[in-house]
Chains A and B, each alone.
Chain A
Amino acid sequence: MNISRRAHGQWSLLALSALLVAMPRPSAAQSHYDLPIREHVFDNGLRLLVLERSRDPRVACKIFTDMGAIHEVPGLLGAAHFQEHIMFKGTPTLGTTDWEAEQPIRERMWEVEADLIEEKNRARNDIRQRGIMDDYRHVESTPGMDELLTGLAELERQAATYRESSPMSKWYQAYGGTGLTATTEQEYMNFDIILPVERVDLFLRVEADRMSNTVFREFEQERMILVEQRIGDLNNASTPYYEQMNALSGIVHPVFWPEGYSTDFDEYTRTSQRAMYEEYFVVNNTTLVFVGGVSLEGLIPRVEHYFGWMERAPEPRRTPAVEPRPGSERRLVYRNDEIEPRVEFRYQIPAVGHPDRPVFDVLGEVAAGRLVERLAGEGIAAGVNVNTRVVHTARFGVPSTINFELVLLDEGRLEEAEALLEETIQSLMTPLDDSKVRRAQKVLRTAWHRTARDASALAFEIGHFQTMDRWESLQAFLDARDTTSAADIARVAQLYFVPDNRSVGVARSRAPRRPTSEERP
Chain B
Amino acid sequence: MMTRPLLIAAATLVLHTTPAVAQDTTHPQDMDLPAPSFERPDPEGLRLELDNGLRAYVAEDHRAPLMTLTAFVAAGSAHGEAGEAAAVAAALRRGPASMSVADFRAALDQMAAAYTVTLGREETEITMDVPAGDAWRALDLFSATLQGPALGASSAGSPARTSQAEGIDWASSIAGAIAAFDSRLYQGHPFGRSPSADDVDEANAGGAERYHRTYFVPANVVLAVAGDFDAAEARHRTAEAFSRWSGGERAGALTFPNVTTESPRRVLQANADKLQGWVVIGHEIPIVPRQDQAALDVMNYILGAYHLDSRLYRESRELRGLTNDNSSFLEPGVRGPGSYTFRTYGRPEAVRLLVEITFRELQKIRDTRASDDELFVAKGALADGTYASQYATGLDASRSFALEWLRDRDHDWSAGYTERIRAVTLEQVQAAAQRYIHPDRMLVSVMGPLEKIEASPMIESEPQLDAWGEIERVDGGGR
Decide whether A and B are members of one complex.
Answer: yes
Q: How far is it, in angstroms, between the C-alpha of A231 and the C-alpha of B383 when the chains are bound?
A: 37
Q: Which partner residue on chain A sits nearest B19 by CB separation? A: A308
In the complex, whether B28 has a CB less than 8 A from a CB of chain A is: yes
Q: Which of B61-69, B184-192, B237-245, B260-268 is the interface stretch?
A: B61-69
Write the A167-187 contact mask toward B (1 if CB under 8 angstroms, else 0): 001110111111010000000
Q: How far is it, in angstroms, between the C-alpha of A312 and the C-alpha of B457 when the chains are bound?
A: 51
- CB distance B321 to A223 under 8 Å? yes
Q: Give residues of chain B (337-351) contacting chain A, Cβ–Cβ below 8 Å.
A: 345-347
The answer to whether residues A197 and B386 also contact, given A222-B321, A309-B21 and a CB cut-off of 8 A, is no
**B5, B11, B384: most-surrounded residue (chain A CB, <10 A):** B384
Indicate the size class of the contact surface on chain B: 35 or more
Q: Give residues of chain A (125-184) contacting chain B, Cβ–Cβ below 8 Å.
A: 160, 165-166, 169-171, 173-178, 180
Least distance between B378 CB and chain A CB atoms (Å):
8
For B395, the chain A residues whose CB sits under 8 A away are: 453
Q: How far is it, in angstroms, between the C-alpha of A309 and the C-alpha of B38 when the chains are bound?
A: 32
For B320, the chain A residues whose CB sits under 8 A away are: 221
Q: Which of B91-99, B211-219, B311-319 is the interface stretch?
A: B311-319
> Of A160, A166, A447, A449, which contacts B313 at CB under 8 A?
A166
- CB distance B172 to A236 under 8 Å? yes
Q: How far is it, in angstroms, between the C-alpha of A84 and the C-alpha of B182 when the chains are bound?
A: 36
Least distance between B75 CB and chain A CB atoms (Å):
29
Q: Give residues of chain A (420-477) contacting chain B, Cβ–Cβ below 8 Å.
A: 439, 442-443, 445-447, 449-450, 452-453, 455
Q: Which partner residue on chain A sits nearest B35 by CB separation? A: A198
In the complex, whether B37 has a CB less than 8 A from a CB of chain A is: yes
Q: Which partner residue on chain B sits nearest A452 by CB separation? A: B64
Q: How far is it, in angstroms, between the C-alpha of A171 and the C-alpha of B27 when the chains are bound?
A: 9
In the complex, whether A119 has a CB less than 8 A from a CB of chain B is: no
In the complex, whether B247 has a CB less than 8 A from a CB of chain A is: no
- CB distance B384 to A205 under 8 Å? no
For A170, the chain B residues whose CB sits under 8 A away are: 309, 377
In the complex, whether A202 has a CB less than 8 A from a CB of chain B is: yes
> Of A54, A295, A297, A306, which contacts B24 at CB under 8 A?
A306
- CB distance B321 to A175 under 8 Å? no
In the complex, whether B252 has a CB less than 8 A from a CB of chain A is: no
Total interface residues in chain A, CB < 8 Å: 75
In the complex, whether B248 has a CB less than 8 A from a CB of chain A is: no
In the complex, whether A410 has a CB less than 8 A from a CB of chain B is: no
For A516, the chain B residues whose CB sits under 8 A away are: none
Least distance between B86 CB and chain A CB atoms (Å):
22
In the complex, whether A243 has a CB less than 8 A from a CB of chain B is: no
Q: Which partner residue on chain B sits nearest A444 by CB separation? A: B112
Q: Give residues of chain A (213-255) contacting chain B, Cβ–Cβ below 8 Å.
A: 213, 218, 220-225, 227-229, 231-232, 234-236
Least distance between B376 CB and chain A CB atoms (Å):
6
- CB distance A173 to B275 under 8 Å? no
Q: How far is it, in angstroms, between the C-alpha of A402 and the C-alpha of B42 when the chains are bound?
A: 48
The answer to whether residues A58 and B389 also contact, given A169-B309, A212-B23 and a CB cut-off of 8 A, is yes
- CB distance B321 to A174 under 8 Å? no
For B114, the chain A residues whose CB sits under 8 A away are: 450
In the complex, whether A194 has a CB less than 8 A from a CB of chain B is: yes
In the complex, whether A113 has a CB less than 8 A from a CB of chain B is: no
In the complex, whether A302 has a CB less than 8 A from a CB of chain B is: yes
In the complex, whether A38 has a CB less than 8 A from a CB of chain B is: no
For A228, the chain B residues whose CB sits under 8 A away are: 276, 321-324, 346-347
Q: How far is it, in angstroms, between the C-alpha of A166 and the C-alpha of B18 when the chains are bound?
A: 32
Write the B365-401 contact mask toward A (1 if CB under 8 angstroms, else 0): 0000000000011001101111011001101000000
- CB distance B33 to A199 under 8 Å? yes
- CB distance B109 to A196 under 8 Å? no
- CB distance A229 to B389 under 8 Å? no
- CB distance B34 to A199 under 8 Å? yes
In the complex, whether B253 has a CB less than 8 A from a CB of chain A is: no
Least distance between A223 CB and chain B CB atoms (Å):
7
Least distance between B146 CB and chain A CB atoms (Å):
22
Q: How far is it, in angstroms, between the C-alpha of A446 and the C-alpha of B380 when the chains are bound?
A: 36
For B2, the chain A residues whose CB sits under 8 A away are: none
Least distance between A249 CB and chain B CB atoms (Å):
26
Least distance between A170 CB and chain B CB atoms (Å):
5
Least distance between A242 CB and chain B CB atoms (Å):
16
The answer to whether residues A205 and B25 also contact, given A199-B34, A232-B324 and a CB cut-off of 8 A, is yes
In the complex, whether A304 has a CB less than 8 A from a CB of chain B is: yes
In the complex, whether A298 has a CB less than 8 A from a CB of chain B is: yes
Q: Give residues of chain B (398-415) contacting chain A, Cβ–Cβ below 8 Å.
A: none
In the complex, whether A264 has a CB less than 8 A from a CB of chain B is: no
In the complex, whether B290 has a CB less than 8 A from a CB of chain A is: no
For A56, the chain B residues whose CB sits under 8 A away are: 392-393
Write the B269-288 contact mask toward A (1 if CB under 8 angstroms, else 0): 00000111000000000000
Write the A279-323 contact mask toward B (1 if CB under 8 angstroms, else 0): 000000000000000010110111011111100000000000000
In the complex, whether B236 has a CB less than 8 A from a CB of chain A is: no
For A224, the chain B residues whose CB sits under 8 A away are: 321-322
- CB distance B308 to A166 under 8 Å? yes
- CB distance A205 to B275 under 8 Å? no
- CB distance A205 to B28 under 8 Å? yes
Write the B55-78 contact mask toward A (1 if CB under 8 angstroms, else 0): 000000101111000000000000
Q: How far is it, in angstroms, between the C-alpha of A507 and the C-alpha of B114 when the chains are bound?
A: 31
For A302, the chain B residues whose CB sits under 8 A away are: 11, 15
For B11, the chain A residues whose CB sits under 8 A away are: 298, 301-302
Least distance between A481 CB and chain B CB atoms (Å):
14
For B324, the chain A residues whose CB sits under 8 A away are: 225, 228-229, 232
Q: How far is it, in angstroms, between the C-alpha of A221 and the C-alpha of B393 when the chains are bound?
A: 39
The answer to whether residues A198 and B36 also contact, given A227-B347, A228-B323, A301-B11 and a CB cut-off of 8 A, is yes
Q: Which partner residue on chain B sits nearest A206 by CB separation? A: B28
In the complex, whether A115 has a CB less than 8 A from a CB of chain B is: no
For B110, the chain A residues whose CB sits under 8 A away are: 439
Q: Which partner residue on chain A sits nearest B171 by CB separation? A: A235
In the complex, whether A25 has a CB less than 8 A from a CB of chain B is: no
Least distance between B252 CB and chain A CB atoms (Å):
38
In the complex, whether A491 has a CB less than 8 A from a CB of chain B is: no
- CB distance A446 to B4 under 8 Å? no
In the complex, whether B455 has a CB less than 8 A from a CB of chain A is: no
> Of B8, B23, B26, B309, which contacts A298 at CB under 8 A?
B8
Q: Which partner residue on chain A sits nearest B386 by CB separation? A: A178
The answer to whether residues A235 and B274 also contact, given A202-B28, A308-B19 and a CB cut-off of 8 A, is yes
In the complex, whether A514 has a CB less than 8 A from a CB of chain B is: no
> Of A53, A169, A236, A305, which contacts B308 at CB under 8 A?
A169
Q: How far is it, in angstroms, between the C-alpha of A221 and the C-alpha of B18 when the chains are bound?
A: 42
In the complex, whether A57 has a CB less than 8 A from a CB of chain B is: yes
- CB distance A176 to B388 under 8 Å? yes
- CB distance A218 to B319 under 8 Å? yes
For A54, the chain B residues whose CB sits under 8 A away are: 5
Least distance between B12 CB and chain A CB atoms (Å):
5
- CB distance A165 to B318 under 8 Å? yes
> Of A196, A206, A213, A223, which contacts B388 at CB under 8 A?
A196
- CB distance A173 to B15 under 8 Å? no
Q: Give residues of chain B (1-56) contacting chain A, Cβ–Cβ below 8 Å.
A: 4-5, 8-9, 11-12, 14-16, 18-29, 31, 33-38
In the complex, whether B479 has a CB less than 8 A from a CB of chain A is: no
In the complex, whether B201 has a CB less than 8 A from a CB of chain A is: no
Q: How far is it, in angstroms, between the C-alpha of A94 and the C-alpha of B34 when the chains are bound?
A: 20
> Of B15, B29, B109, B275, which contacts A235 at CB under 8 A?
B275
In the complex, whether A208 has a CB less than 8 A from a CB of chain B is: yes
> Of B35, B64, B129, B381, which contacts A173 at CB under 8 A?
B381
The answer to whether residues A309 and B64 also contact, given A58-B389, A173-B380, A236-B172 and a CB cut-off of 8 A, is no
> Of B12, B21, B313, B393, which contacts A297 at CB under 8 A?
B12
Would you list 23 pairs from A and B whose C-beta atoms are within 8 A, ordered by A residue? A57-B36, A57-B37, A58-B388, A174-B381, A176-B384, A178-B386, A180-B307, A180-B308, A196-B388, A197-B36, A198-B34, A220-B321, A224-B321, A225-B323, A228-B321, A231-B276, A232-B324, A235-B173, A297-B9, A301-B11, A304-B16, A446-B130, A453-B395
Given contacts A304-B16, A453-B64, 4 further A-B contacts (CB under 8 A): A174-B380, A198-B4, A227-B347, A228-B323
